[in-house]
Structure 1
Amino acid sequence: MILQPDVAVPDGATYLPATLDHVRWGRLPCAADAPVLKVDSGSDVVVDTISHEGILEDQGRDPRAFFASHGVEGDAVLDDAIALAASDHPRAWGVDGPHVVTGPIEVAGAEAGDLLAIHVLETTPRVPYGVVSNRHAKGALPGEYPLEGDVFSVFCEVGERDGRAVGRLPVGPGSDRSVSFDLHPFLGTMGVAVAGSERPHSVPPGPFGGNIDVNLLTAGSTLYLPVQVPGALAYVGDPHFAQGDGEVALTAMEASLRVRIGLEVIPREDAVAAFGELVGPMAETAEFLVPTGLDPDLDVAMQHCVRAAIALLQARFDMDPRHAYAYLSAATDFRISQVVDVVKGVHATIRKSDFA
């Protein structure tokens, strides 16, 4: 099914479509932005998100034509993506970022110093295809790729293998052979508004979250973010169907999702007891606690992540920091979240079962 706006929305759901008045394109919300929705802590919201792939200027800013060139019928292209690409939505090509975010959502009672928990409850593909792009000498090999031109976009179909949804990426231009990989839909961008009146660029992540691109944030996971402004003003976007750690080419399999998220305020006292003095994003899955580290220098991002992991183990399990450092070295994987968003990311995967 193609999940066009307002199609197949569950009865009684609080629904936030990605209409022109509900999205930001290339910039993230700040304290000066008015919320497009207000909810109580503990509420669930169904949110439509739009992928930037297929709507950008270097792809013609015409998703109908772009996807038609890959054999997609017109009624399988999302109406809200078409409307955004055709609009005069304020955005400067080459200055602002590419990402589309839906929001912001005000959560009643959230104050600076609290944590906002964004629980990812469901992630549903809106279309059966996606795009992976390398562009403008960006990515892990900026002096080498794209091999020619400013952008190289690979169209990927969604298929099935052994009863599981997979992405199918062709092995070369015009080839009828493809490589298949499992899909793990997640939101690359989840965040809260920053203080002040200046909207952050959509590419570099920060203490507010944003474009952190942690691929563990699939359904069943939670992202914890330090609230910066009253009401938190949460937003989500940059939907992916799949991404490898590192996201080396610049984007991964980018494609639009409908998500159901839960929004919960964790008061400062409870937050400190559970996580310590959290200064940046932290995730949790059924299996792992996932502290993060962010910095333009990957070595420094790694150091920030290790410090965050030690502080978490001190707060959550009353570990001596020297013993926590030793445990992390013996038992925890530190993964590169992404190296393509100016501010690089590292995340640790601390097994919760080790502390049962």
Structure 2
Amino acid sequence: MSLSTLQPNEGSPLGEHYLRSEVDNVQWGWLPNAVSKPVFEMASGATITVDTVSHEGMMDDQGRDPQAWFAQFGVRPGEILADARAIADGVERRNGDGPHVVTGPIAVTGSRAGDILKVEVLHTALRTRYGVISSRHGLGALPGEFPETPPREDGADRFHAGRFHSCFTFVSVEQSGGQICGVLNRRGLNPVRFPLDPHMGIMSVASDTDEPVHSNPPGLHGGNVDVKLLGSGSTFYLPVQVDGALFATGDPHYSQGNGEVALTAFEAPLRTTFRLTTISAAAASGVLGALREPFGENSRHWIVIGLDRDLSGAMKAAVRSAIGFLETAQGMDRATAMAYLSAAADFEISQVVDGVQGVHCLIRKSDFRQQF
């Protein structure tokens, strides 16, 4: 991982194709639907490097001017991404829009409704040496308790950003002991350093609707699942709802704790390389069994995702889907699957802040390999 600023067109993109997060290639606050037009089209199995920007520094409660806002933390003008500055200036955002800036959509040639889009995350590159963790009034795991600042005032807007009374924590990125870490300063004490796990909070296909699809709640389309294990080396499977799949990605994170309790993770921009491959409807059962919902894996685990507006409902959804996966993809009877999950699997809270809450189940692959 590099600590230099990675501006558009700088560096050597690893993919066969390269998609910049410029004004014409992004949506602010919305995900693709059935009537969205792709900004790029590529063959199944090809690789693409995608630039993404963070919304932090560009929001109304930050004045919509990333250069001016980040200057208070000592960030120099040359360290502000040119694409972030252009989006803040050139893309309209209205009340009710989601916060996330999403790059895409990308059409995958030949992908059809009923197929599965296999999204392999091949590489993530940091684009800046800094980012932000935010807490905003009425949101997060403790709305009404955090942030511990005065309530939002009347007349709060981009021109009166201080009236929002949001709470922002600036995080720098440094090399420490051979590892790149996030650094949180403490008054009068040594800084706190924590490891990074860069990943995309949003990976989405288009929903089969002509209604707008808000960027906040995850769903069958994937979207804002905020599963921190879906970083470099992972694979995310999404059920295709419209021809072309129309993949989009955004909400880049340098790290995230399970729960994402403040409201945001460590939000900062990434350049991510993907391989996008269509799995036909006929072949999907060999990979996912009977599951036709967002599903992940990495070298160690299968990652089953449960979503619901209620956390208990998300837990139940994850258990049901994990049983279904073990039954139809791994050949377990349902009683044995439930017993295995109770004894050996881990259910973790992905996030509780996106309207639809998430729980993911980790099933160790090594438990299913033949032992000699």
Q: Name the TM tier (shorter chain).
A: over 0.9
Query: In the TM superposition, what is the alpha-carbon distance from 1:12 to its structure 2 partner?
Result: 7.5
Aligned to 1:77: 80
- Give the secondary-structure state (helix, strand or coil) at the position aligned to 2:78: helix
Q: Quick check: 2:285–2:329 contact (8 Å CA) kept in 1?
A: no
- Give the secondary-structure state (helix, strand or coil) at the position aligned to 1:168: strand
Aligned to 1:105: 106
* Alignment map for 1:267-286 (pairs within 5 Å): 267-286=280-299
Aligned to 2:21: 18
Aligned to 1:235: 248
Query: In the TM superposition, what is the alpha-carbon distance from 1:7 to its structure 2 partner?
Result: 0.7
Query: In the TM superposition, what is the alpha-carbon distance from 1:278 to its structure 2 partner?
Result: 2.1
- Give the secondary-structure state (helix, strand or coil) at the position aligned to 1:304: helix
Aligned to 1:51: 54
Q: Quick check: 2:40–2:104 contact (8 Å CA) kept in 1?
A: yes
- Give the secondary-structure state (helix, strand or coil) at the position aligned to 1:7: coil
Decide which of 182, 190, 194 is 1:167's aligned counterpart.
182
TM-score (normalised: structure 1): 0.97
Aligned to 1:290: 303
Cα distance, 1:189–1:12 mapped onto 2, change above 3 Å: closer
* Alignment map for 1:1-356 (pairs within 5 Å): 1-10=4-13, 13-87=16-90, 89-93=91-95, 95-149=96-150, 150-172=165-187, 177-356=190-369
Q: Quick check: 2:55–2:100 contact (8 Å CA) kept in 1?
A: yes
Q: Deviations over 1:240-275 (max 9, x none)?
A: 000000000000100000000010111112212321
- Give the secondary-structure state (helix, strand or coil) at the position aligned to 1:195: coil
Query: In the TM superposition, what is the alpha-carbon distance from 1:91 to its structure 2 partner?
Result: 2.5
Q: Quick check: 1:273–1:315 contact (8 Å CA) kept in 2?
A: no
Cα distance, 1:268–1:329 mapped onto 2, change above 3 Å: same
Distance, in Å, in 2 between the alignment partners of 1:9 and 1:105 is: 21
Q: Quick check: 2:140–2:261 contact (8 Å CA) kept in 1?
A: yes
Distance, in Å, in 2 between the alignment partners of 1:278 and 1:110 is: 18
Report the identity percentage.
50
Query: In the TM superposition, what is the alpha-carbon distance from 1:123 to its structure 2 partner?
Result: 0.3
Distance, in Å, in 2 between the alignment partners of 1:307 and 1:180 is: 38
Distance, in Å, in 2 between the alignment partners of 1:11 and 1:259 is: 9
Distance, in Å, in 2 between the alignment partners of 1:162 and 1:283 is: 31
Q: Quick check: 2:14–2:49 contact (8 Å CA) kept in 1?
A: no
- Give the secondary-structure state (helix, strand or coil) at the position aligned to 1:353: helix
Distance, in Å, in 2 between the alignment partners of 1:30 and 1:298 is: 27
- Give the secondary-structure state (helix, strand or coil) at the position aligned to 1:55: coil
Q: Quick check: 1:275–1:311 contact (8 Å CA) kept in 2?
A: no
Q: Deviations over 1:17-46 (max 9, x none)?
A: 001010000111111111011011101001
Give 5+ residue unaligned stretches, structure 2.
Answer: 151-164
- Give the secondary-structure state (helix, strand or coil) at the position aligned to 2:350: strand
Cα distance, 1:90–1:31 mapped onto 2, change above 3 Å: farther
Query: Which has the higher mean CA deviation after the structures are superposed, 343-352 or 263-272?
Result: 263-272
Question: How many pairs were matched up?
Answer: 352
Aligned to 2:153: none
- Give the secondary-structure state (helix, strand or coil) at the position aligned to 1:307: helix
Task: Read off the aligned partner of 1:346 and give its amino acid letter.
Answer: V
RMSD: 1.2
